[in-house]
Chains A and B, each alone.
Chain A
Amino acid sequence: MLFQVIDNYRLALTGVSLLLAACGLLVLLNRSRQGLRTLLAEYRAVRRSWSLGPLVLAVFLLNCFLLPASLRLHTSAEITLHYSLASQGLNPNGTRFNQADILSAQVLEGAIEKGALEGITAQDLKNAIQVRPVVQGNSYSEDAYFISTQFVVQYDASSETASQDGEKLLTLVTQAYKDWFVKSYSANSSILRLDFSSAEGADYLDSCLFLAQTAQSIGEYMRSMSGEEPAFRSSASGETFQSVSALAYEVEETLVERLEAYVLEEGISRDPGQYVNRLEVANVFMRFNAQKAAASNENMLEAITMYEDDMARIVLVPTYDTNNQFYMSQTRIGVDDFAANANHYADEKIAVQEKIAYNDHVIGQLSGRSGGAEDKAEALIGQIRRELTRIAGLAEELVKEYNARQANRYMTAVVSSAEAQAMKLAAEIAARTVLFAAGLRLCWFSLAGGRKRR
C-alpha cells in the first residue's frame, strides 16, 4: 500500500497541481470579459487575505518525505569494464562477454545470500532489475557498430522488493557480480599445488622425468602469466613471473639433470631387471617405428625422383599484400609437399633412433650393477621436491597477488546514492511545491472571485 502511494505520488501531485491550475484558468477565461485590469485589481485585493500557507507547507513536507523515499524504489548503478579485451566484447579469458550474466541466477542468489535478504527471491530481483549498455550500438552500419564497456543496471521496485532499499540491493548485486566475474575469469593457480604422490615409489629415472615435467609446467605457467603483464612484481617477495619461471627452469636444468646423471653413472634402479626389460620392449617397438619412418622417407625421395621432371617447379600466384601492393607469390606445389614429408620422416627416424640409443645406454648402465648409491639419489629427489615446492609457493603467492589486484581492475561499479542526488532532489522538491502552490493559488483566486460575485 505504502509502496503504491510512494510510487505514484509524483504523478498524483503533478496531476492535482495541473488540475487545480486548469480549473482556475478555465474559470478565469470565463471571466475574462470583465477585463484583465479588473481581474488584476481583484487579485491584489485578495492575495493578502489568503491562508493557503498550511496546505502548501503540508505538501512541501510530503514532498520532503515521499520524493526521497521514491529514490529507494528507483535507482541505478553503472558497471564499467576496464580490462583490455572488454572493448572487443570479450571476457578476460577471450570468451564472449554477456551482459545477461549480471542478472544470472547465480549472481542474484549470491546477492540475496550476501545481504541475508528475507522474503525475496532471485526471480523477484530479476523482475525488478534491467541491464542495458550505456551506449547502444547496432550492426546495421559500420558507423553505428559499437561495443559498450559500460552498463547501466536499473532497479525499479516491484511490490515484492519494495521493502528493500534500492541502493543496498544494487550494491549487493554489483558486488555479487564482481565476485562471480573474478572467480570465473581470474587466473587459476591450482596447477601450482604440487602433488608428488603419483611419483611415489617410481624408479629413479621415471622420477627424473616427473620432476623435470613438474618444473617445466611451473616455468611454462609463469611464462604465460608474464605475457599478461611482464612488469608485475610481488610486493611480498619481489619476484616477477619471469623470474619465477627462470627459477623453475633452473631446477630442471641443474638439479634434475644432476640427478639423472648420477642415476645413470651409478646405474641405480629400484628393480633393475624389470626396468631393463621395459626398455628392451620399448626399443623393439621403437625400432619398428624407426624402420617405418625410414621406409616412408625413402618412398618420398623416390616419388620426387619419379615425378620431379613432370611436375611444375614453380607456381606464381598474383597477390596483393597488406599494403595493397601487387606482387607474385610462390605457392607450395606437389614436389614441395613430397620434400617436406621426406624431411619429416627423416627427422622422425633420427628422433626414434636417438631414444633407442639412450635406452641402450641406460640398459648398459643398469645391467650388472649392484646398486648401493640409492641414499644419495633419494636425498637429491628430496632436495628437488623441496625446491620445486618452494618455487610453486612463490608462484602461487604471485598469482594470488596478481589476481587480487586484477579483481580491482576488472571493473568498477558505482551505485547512484541518494546522498549524491541531494541537489537534484532539493530542486525537484522546490519545483513541485511551487507548481502545486501556483495551481492552488490560481484555483483559489478564481473560485474566490466567483464566491465574491455570488
Chain B
Amino acid sequence: MKRILTGIISAGITIGVIAAWIIWSNSSFEETFYAMESYKIEETVRVIVLADLHQRSFGPGNETLLGRVRALRPDLLLIAGDLVNKGDPDWDYAVDLCRELAEIAPVYYAMGNHENEALYGQDLNKKFLDGAALGEDPEDFSPLLLNPRVWEDLEGTGAILLQNEAATAEVKGAAIRIGGLSTNASSFWPHSGQFVTRFVEEDPESFKILISHRPEPVMEYIPDAAIDLTVSGHNHGGVIRIPGVGGLFSGAEGLFPVYDGGWYEREGMSLLISRGLGSHGLPPRVFNQPELVILDIN
C-alpha cells in the first residue's frame, strides 16, 4: 500500500513539475537570428517575422513582445498569419497589435487559415472558393468578407494587408517587393497562382519576399520561382519537438513534418519557417519555446 502511495505521489509530482515547466517555457519567447546575402540590397535590412500568435500576449498589452521588437530596430515587420483564433477571433487584439507594430516599422500582414476562417466563414479551400460568389476575379476574395468592417479596421492601423496582393517597400535605398499568399495547396490554382506568377515576373530588380502562411503550396507549385525569400509559419514547429529529431506533427504533413521550422534551401528558393509565437488548443507546445524570428538581409 505504502509503495503504491509512494508511486502515485511520485507520478503526481513528476507530472506537476513537467506541467509547470511547459507553462513556464511557453510564457516567454526566444529570438532566432538569421542572415542572408543579396546583391539587391545595398545596406543591411532587418526584417522581423511574427507568426501564429493566436491572440497570445507576452506581458500586459503584449508589451514584452513589443519592447523587444522595438529594441531590435526592424526595418520591416512581416506578419505571417494566424494573429487571431478562428473560433473566437479577437479582432481588437489584432487591431491593437498592428497599430502598435506600425508605429515601430512598416507592417505587412498576410492572412493565415485562422483569419480566413474568421473573415470568410471557411478556410480558403478549393471546394469553398470554387462554389463561392467571387465575382470576375477568382483571386479577389473581398466579396466573401462576412464583416468588411474588420478588414477596414485592420487597414486603418497602418498595416498593409496582403491577400493575393503585393506592395513595394522602399528601405534604405532598396526596393523590396512583398507579396501575401494565404490559399492552401488545393486552391492555389486558380485562386492564387496568377497573382504569384505576376509577382514573380514583375520588377525583377526588386528583392522579393513572399509571405505564405503555409509553406506547402509554395514548395509544391513554385519551389524554383525567382523569389528571393519566402516566409511561412503555420506548423508551430511541429508542436511537440523531440530533441535531436525535430517536430512531431503538423496538420498538413502529419508525423515528423519536413517543414516544421527553420531555414530551407530548395531548388533556388530560400524558405524561412517560423515556429510561431503561440498555439491553438491542445496539445501544448513542448520543448518548443515560442519563437521571434529576426532576419538580416545584407
- Chain A residues within 8 Å of B, Cβ to Cβ: 51, 53-54, 57-58, 61, 65, 114-116, 118, 165, 168, 171-172, 175, 178-179, 182, 236, 397, 400-405, 407-408, 418-423, 425-426
| A115 pairs with B39, CB closer than 8 A | no
Cα A404 to Cα B243 in complex, Å, equals 34
Stretch at the interface among B3-11, B80-88, B106-114, B213-221: B3-11
> Chain B contacts of A420 at CB under 8 A?
244
Q: Are A419 and B33 in contact (CB under 8 A)?
A: no
Once bound together, how far apart are the Cα atoms of A172 and B14, in whole Å?
Answer: 36
Bound-state CA distance A202–B194 (Å) is 54
Can you spell out 9 A-B residue pairs with CB atoms less than 8 angstroms apart?
A53-B6, A65-B21, A115-B72, A175-B296, A178-B35, A404-B38, A408-B37, A422-B245, A423-B243
Interface residues on B, range: 20 to 34
Q: Is B59 an interface residue (CB 8 A)?
A: no
Given known contacts A54-B9, A397-B39, is B205 in contact with A236 (CB within 8 Å)?
yes
Which A residues touch B33, using CB under 8 A? Answer: 114-115, 168, 171-172, 175
Q: How far is the CA of A61 from the CA of B19 in the complex (A)?
A: 12
**Is A403 a contact partner of B3 (Cβ separation < 8 A)?**
no
Interface centre among B10, B21, B37, B244 (most CB of A within 10 A): B37
The 9 closest A-B pairs by CB, nearest first: A422-B243, A422-B244, A116-B71, A400-B39, A401-B39, A404-B39, A404-B37, A407-B37, A116-B72
> Measured between alpha carbons, how far is A400 from B205 in the docked complex, in Å?
13
Q: Please classify the interface of chain A as helix (H, G, I), strand (E, B), loop, or mixed, using the class held by over half of its residues.
A: helix
Task: Given contacts A65-B21, A405-B37, A422-B243, list 6 more A-B pairs with CB under 8 A.
Answer: A116-B68, A168-B30, A179-B44, A401-B39, A404-B39, A423-B244
The reply to whether A54 and B10 contact each other, CB–CB distance below 8 Å, is: yes
List, in ascending order, chain A residues with CB within 8 A of B242's CB.
422
Q: How far is the CB of A406 from chain B (nearest CB, A)?
A: 9
Check if B142 is an interface residue, CB within 8 A of chain A. no
For A178, list chain B residues within 8 Å (CB): 35
Chain A residues closer than 8 Å to B35, beta-carbon distance? 175, 178-179
A21 to chain B, nearest CB (A): 23
- Minimum CB–CB distance for A2 against chain B, Å: 13
Say how far A65's CB is from chain B's closest CB, in angstroms.
Answer: 7
Mark B6-49 against chain A: 1 for CB-CB distance below 8 A, else 0: 11011001100100010000000011110101110000100000
Task: List A contacts of B37 (CB < 8 A).
Answer: 182, 404-405, 407-408
Closest A residue to B35 by beta carbon equals: A175
Q: Are A168 and B39 in contact (CB under 8 A)?
A: no
Q: Quick check: B17 and A61 within 8 Å, CB to CB?
A: yes
> By the criterion CB–CB under 8 Å, are A115 and B31 in contact?
yes
Residues of chain A within 8 A (CB-CB) of B68 are 116
CB nearest to A420 among chain B residues:
B244
Please report the C-alpha to C-alpha distance between residue A57 and residue B14 in the assembled complex, in whole angstroms. 8
A51 touching B9, Cβ below 8 Å: no
Please measure, in the bound complex, the distance between the C-alpha atom of A115 and the C-alpha atom of B34, giving whole angstroms: 11
B266 interface contact, C-beta 8 A = no
Q: Does B143 contact A (CB under 8 A)?
A: no
Minimal Cβ-Cβ distance residue in B for A409? B37
Q: Is B197 an interface residue (CB 8 A)?
A: no
B205 / chain A contacts, CB cutoff of 8 Å = 236
Option from B31, B204, B296 in Cβ contact (under 8 Å) with A168? B31
Measured CB to CB, the closest approach of chain A to B15, in angstroms, equals 11
What is B's interface to A at a CB cutoff of 8 Å?
2-3, 6-7, 9-10, 13-14, 17, 21, 30-33, 35, 37-39, 44, 68, 71-73, 204-205, 241-246, 296, 298
User: Nearest CB to that of B205 among chain A residues?
Assistant: A236
Q: How far is the CA of A418 from the CA of B35 in the complex (A)?
A: 20
Q: How far is the CB of A138 from chain B (nearest CB, A)?
A: 35
What is the distance, in angstroms, from A72's C-beta to the closest C-beta of chain B? 11
Chain A positions within 8 Å of B14 at CB level: 57, 61
- A-side contacts of B39, CB under 8 Å: 397, 400-405
State which of B2, B10, B38, B243 has its C-beta within 8 Å of the C-beta of A419: B243
Chain A residue with Cβ nearest B73: A116
Chain A residue nearest to B242 in the complex (CB): A422
Candidate in A118, A168, A419 with the most chain B CB atoms within 10 angstroms:
A419
In the complex, how many angstroms separate the beta carbon of B216 from the nearest chain A beta carbon? 23
Cβ–Cβ contact B73 & A57, under 8 A: no
Q: How many whole Å from B5's CB to the nearest CB in chain A?
A: 10
How near does chain B come to A297, taking the closest CB pair, in angstroms? 54
Q: Please, which residue of chain B has its CB at the minimum distance from the CB of A113? A: B73
| Distance of A134 Cα from B265 Cα, bound (Å) | 28
Report chain B residues within 8 Å CB of A397.
Answer: 39
User: What is the bound-complex CA distance between A242 and B2, given in angstroms?
Assistant: 86
Give CA–CA (A418, B244) in the complex, Å. Answer: 9
Q: How far apart sit A165 and B244, CA to CA, in the bound complex (Å)? A: 19
Contacts of B296 in A (CB 8 A): 114, 175, 179
Shortest distance between the CB of B225 and any CB in chain A (Å)? 14
CA distance A53 to B72 in the complex (A): 47
Give chain A residues whose Cβ lies under 8 Å from the Cβ of B204: 236
Cross-chain contact B241 with A419 (CB below 8 angstroms): yes
Question: How near does chain A come to B267, taking the closest CB pair, in angstroms?
Answer: 15
Residue contact B6 to A54, C-beta cutoff 8 Å? yes
A419, B6: Cβ atoms under 8 Å?
A: no
- Asked whether A51 lies within 8 Å of B298 as measured between CB atoms, the reply is no
Q: How far is the CA of A118 from the CA of B71 in the complex (A)?
A: 9
Please give the distance in Å from A108's CB to the nearest CB on chain B: 15
On chain A, the residues within 8 Å of B241 by CB distance are 419
A14, chain B: closest CB distance, angstroms: 23
Cα distance, A219 to B246, chains bound together (Å): 52
Closest to A399 in B: B39
The residue of chain A having its C-beta at the shortest distance from the C-beta of B38 within the complex is A404
B46: nearest chain-A partner, CB-CB: A114
Interface centre among A236, A404, A426 (most CB of B within 10 A): A404
Which residues on A sit within 8 Å (CB–CB) of B38? Answer: 404
Q: Are A407 and B30 in contact (CB under 8 A)?
A: no
- Contact between chains at A179 and B298 (CB < 8 Å): yes
- Using CB atoms, name the residue of chain A closest to B9: A54
Q: Chain A nearest CB: distance from B175 CB in Å? A: 14
Residue of B nearest to A178 (CB): B35
CA distance A179 to B33 in the complex (A): 14
Q: Closest approach, in angstroms, between the C-beta of B298 and any C-beta of chain A? A: 6
Nearest opposing residue in chain B for A179, CB measure = B298
Given A114-B296, A404-B38, A422-B244, is A165 in contact with B30 using a C-beta cutoff of 8 Å? yes
* Contact for B7 among A53, A402, A426, CB less than 8 A: A53
Contacts of B44 in A (CB 8 A): 179
A402: B residues at CB distance < 8 A: 39
Which residue of the partner chain B has the closest CB to A234?
B39
- Chain B residues lying within 8 Å of A179, measured Cβ to Cβ, are 35, 44, 296, 298
